[in-house]
Structure 1
Amino acid sequence: MKVSSDGTSDCIDAELFMRYTGDLSSRPDVVVISYIIYAILFLLGLLCNGLLIGSMVIRKRKSVANIFLINLAIADILLCFTTLAITPLVSHKKVWLLGAFICKIISPCQSICVLVTSYSLCFIALDRYRSIVTPMKEPYSIFQAQIFMIFMWFGSIIISIPSFVTSGLKVISSDAATLCGEFCGELYWPSPQIQTGYGVFLVFIQFIIPSAVMGFCYWHILQKVREDWIVNKGSMLTQAQQAQTAIRKKRVMYVLIMMVFVFLGSWAPLTLCNMARDFGVQMAERYFITLCANIIAMTSIITNPMLYFWLSKRHRRALKDDMFWLTNVRRNQQNIGILDQFEPSSLLYKKSCDPLTLSSYNHNNRRGTLADPTCSAREDQLEDVKAACFLLVPIMPFCKEKRLSNAGMRRGSNNSNNHAPTTRNMYGNNLNVKNGRAGWK
């Protein structure tokens, strides 16, 4: 086959030609099934990653791991638009229908998103390795995580420049006939050797290095979990507690193994297809095999948020709390005129009246978790906290945004002569200790 820069008047429709040659990707049933699969992946990818980002943003959980998770979710959403929305059309029609500009940017955009996804997973693994295997080392700071994220995007853009330069449209013809339409791809390489070298470089950068880093980190984390499990067998825990601990640690080990194998299983088929293309290997069903490999790779858009975020009971419970709050906000907006003065307890973070207690608590607890001290109205303390919280709907406390003064939080202020010993609870409020019982002061 030869590539010409100008087309001829007589041409053959590429789709009909491929169907005539028996190409599986042109069969009507394969086309319909592929469109359905891509549509499901597109919707689920947007839903899973969108909810992940929304949960992080609403709860303002600013941590190193969450920065990498948001980065991963953004890259996955971009993959939804740059790959899932275009690949089935190209696989079906064969020719390019979206114009020269989209053809020029689509391949480098896909490469950038894949690189960012791979190295976000790498930094998540490194962060976990540093926290679990080497806890004595200073953890990554939020500033360092942001710097890593910036370098990740800029490095991916620089690596993808050759793909941008060589991408374009061409008319493809053979000795017998010319195929109608233009084909998009990296068709303007100076030489086949340069194309092959760049392909090998991308395989090394996109697949081999991330696989090695993730395998190293999760293997050592797995060994650490197993060592702790062996030590705990001689502990003073009851038999039921030991069984429950063993179940939890087995679950952790399974998840760690899944993280590595899901990454390898998702991207290995497409990596092999790209290598075959770069080395000029002829395949009988190139379009169909590449289509299947691309579908397998794009399942990572769903498995990434599921493995790294939604498997956590805490995150699922937090999402349920947020959705319940939003539902009741819409339900009560017309009846409650002062709703704007309040927000859900899940959105209030450490609004203690005592800044000293607040700073000491913040030092030992991560911001944005379900254990954060908020204006939660417990049943046994409802009368004591009603000055700060009230219930708009059952079991859903809404708390005032403005801080109450220490004087306003005190009860029994007229009993100034009572010098009973006091202590502070986790919310920073003074407790009056009488006869071995702590009450609100």
Structure 2
Amino acid sequence: MAVTNTFAVYELGDNDNSENYTDYVYDNKPMVCDDDGIGLRVFHAVFQPVLYSLIFLLGVAGNGLMITILLRRWRRLRITEIYLLHLALSDLMLLLTFPFDIVENAAGWLFGEFLCRLMGLVQTLNLYCGSFLLACIGFDRYLAIVHAIPSMQSRRPRTVHLTCFSLWLLCLGLSIPNAAFLSVGGNNTHTPILFCSYHLHLIHAHNWVLTKRVLDHVCFFLPLAVMSYCYTAVAVTLCNSQKSNAKQRAIRLALLVTLVFFFCWLPYNITLLITTLGDLEVIKYENCTSYDLVQPVLDVTKSIGLSHCCLNPFLYAFVGVRFRNELIQLLCQMGCSWVCLPFTRAQGHSRPSISDGGLTSSNILI
């Protein structure tokens, strides 16, 4: 017999480690489903902290190096590099929230009400902004390659900075409600552990959770659509032009950029959509086992999605010859000659990159 959900589930936090309890009616008898089983506790206590720590270390190193390289020639940044700088700042700010999540998974929220709201705002702000910046990079490549001649006059650094500033303001406006509904509280169990959760203002917090899920989907599928269209047009343009190894690498990079974004965040968005449909009783859970499976899958897929912020430097910057050469120089200046020696030997085989809109550069998409 099917199990009927008697009321909507309240999502208790971005960290997704709070316990969710849902009343069901089974053969006219109320039954409580607890989704915090042994597997979920092990994931939160062991696997998730280890994964978040690896993402944090790799992401801070990669985005930190990327920001350092770009700031060294601040006044000579190309158009795409301005977007890359903002993207790296966004990813770095997102990564700085990871230590709070790691501690919360291990011991609960220990940082007070203010940091609870601030971390929720910062995490949502940078998730949204990072996605839109990826779309902007794809659109900029579309303008530079598909419409090279007429677009050069409109693609000015001042316009790009204003675009990025507008994106930050838009995403900030979408993220501010997190500060209004997040608060520190218990998880409805006998344990005294506290969590940073969406349980302030009760039903209004629940409505915001549902709204936020819609925004999460929009901020994934809209940039994905823009990237898919722009990079497809770029690939077609390059295929129709004179073929070269540089252009073939550019096409592969465009495909890789889109697929990585797609595969990192699509599982989370699908699971989140299923969770929302279950909360709204559009779909019915047959038993508690079906319901208990949703939360672990949501946690795992979100961790996979968050790993994307440590991949961006390698996808957008370090694959370019110019960035690689500057990275080698920076590492040598930092005394890491043993790291950059193999790359220095191979540096003579690399081809230099040229202007932002050229079609013969090995750095064509960067």
TM range (shorter): 0.7 to 0.9
Higher percent of residues as helix: 2
Say if 2:309 is the partner of 1:295.
no
Give the counterpart of 2:314 among 297, 306, 315. 306
Aligned partners of 1:192, 1:302: CA distance in 2, in Å? 31
Question: Structure 2 matches for 1:109-128, cutoff 5 A?
Answer: 109-128=122-141
Residues 309-353 of structure 1, C-alpha deviation per residue, up to 9 Å, x if partnerless?
A: 00112211122123334549xxxxxxxxxxxxxxxxxxxxxxxxx
Do the aligned partners of 2:104 and 2:195 also contact (CA within 8 Å) in 1? no
Letter in 2 for 1:39: S
Aligned partners of 1:309, 1:252: CA distance in 2, in Å? 13
Aligned partners of 1:201, 1:295: CA distance in 2, in Å? 19
Aligned partners of 1:306, 1:204: CA distance in 2, in Å? 25
Aligned partners of 2:355, 2:227: CA distance in 1, in Å? 27
Q: Secondary structure of the residue that 2:304 maps to in structure 1? A: helix
Partner of residue 265, structure 2:
267
Segments of 5+ residues of structure 2 without an aligned counterpart are: 1-5, 8-17, 20-32, 280-284, 286-290, 337-353, 362-366
Aligned partners of 2:255, 2:123: CA distance in 1, in Å? 27
Question: Structure 2 matches for 1:131-146, cutoff 5 A?
Answer: 131-139=144-152, 140-146=155-161
Aligned partners of 2:60, 2:307: CA distance in 1, in Å? 12
Q: Secondary structure of the residue that 1:310 maps to in structure 2? A: coil
Partner of residue 282, structure 2:
none
Aligned partners of 2:277, 2:247: CA distance in 1, in Å? 44
Letter in 1 for 2:52: Y
CA distance 1:98–1:30, shift in 2 (3 Å):
closer
Give the counterpart of 2:233 among 220, 242, 245. 220
CA distance 1:272–1:170, shift in 2 (3 Å):
farther
Do the aligned partners of 1:72 and 1:121 also contact (CA within 8 Å) in 2? yes
Give the counterpart of 1:323 among 315, 321, 331. 331
CA distance 1:310–1:280, shift in 2 (3 Å):
same
Aligned partners of 1:80, 1:285: CA distance in 2, in Å? 27
Give the counterpart of 2:255 among 254, 257, 276. 257
Partner of residue 104, structure 2:
90
Do the aligned partners of 1:91 and 1:287 also contact (CA within 8 Å) in 2? no
Partner of residue 105, structure 1:
118
Q: How many residues are aligned here?
A: 299
Letter in 1 for 2:96: F
Aligned partners of 2:110, 2:298: CA distance in 1, in Å? 19
Aligned partners of 1:327, 1:179: CA distance in 2, in Å? 50
Q: Secondary structure of the residue that 1:185 maps to in structure 2? A: strand
Give the counterpart of 1:49 among 54, 63, 69. 63
Q: Secondary structure of the residue that 1:181 maps to in structure 2? A: coil
Of stretches 282-291 and 141-150 in structure 1, the one that deviates more from structure 2 is 282-291
CA-atom RMSD in angstroms: 3.2
What displacement does 1:103 show? Answer: 1.6
Letter in 1 for 2:241: D
Residues 278-313 of structure 1, C-alpha deviation per residue, up to 9 Å, x if partnerless?
A: 445473145532331232112212211111000112
Letter in 2 for 1:112: L
CA distance 1:314–1:134, shift in 2 (3 Å):
same
Higher RCO (C-alpha under 8 Å, 6+ residues apart): 2
Segments of 5+ residues of structure 1 without an aligned counterpart are: 3-12, 233-244, 329-363, 372-441
Partner of residue 360, structure 1:
none
Letter in 2 for 1:137: P
Aligned partners of 2:271, 2:229: CA distance in 1, in Å? 26
CA distance 1:20–1:255, shift in 2 (3 Å):
closer
Aligned partners of 1:306, 1:145: CA distance in 2, in Å? 22
Do the aligned partners of 2:36 and 2:292 also contact (CA within 8 Å) in 1? no
TM-score normalized by structure 1? 0.61
Do the aligned partners of 2:199 and 2:205 also contact (CA within 8 Å) in 1? no
Partner of residue 348, structure 2:
none
Letter in 2 for 1:131: A
CA distance 1:195–1:152, shift in 2 (3 Å):
same
Question: Structure 2 matches for 1:29-40, cutoff 5 A?
Answer: 31-40=45-54
Aligned partners of 2:35, 2:145: CA distance in 1, in Å? 58
Aligned partners of 2:132, 2:324: CA distance in 1, in Å? 25
Aligned partners of 1:291, 1:50: CA distance in 2, in Å? 27
CA distance 1:81–1:193, shift in 2 (3 Å):
closer
TM-score normalized by structure 2? 0.72
Letter in 2 for 1:124: I
Aligned partners of 2:90, 2:36: CA distance in 1, in Å? 37
Aligned partners of 1:162, 1:37: CA distance in 2, in Å? 28
Choose 1 or 2 for highest CA Rg.
1
Letter in 2 for 1:59: R
Question: Structure 2 matches for 1:389-400, cutoff 5 A?
Answer: none
Give the counterpart of 2:218 among 193, 205, 227. 205
Say if 2:171 is the partner of 1:156.
yes
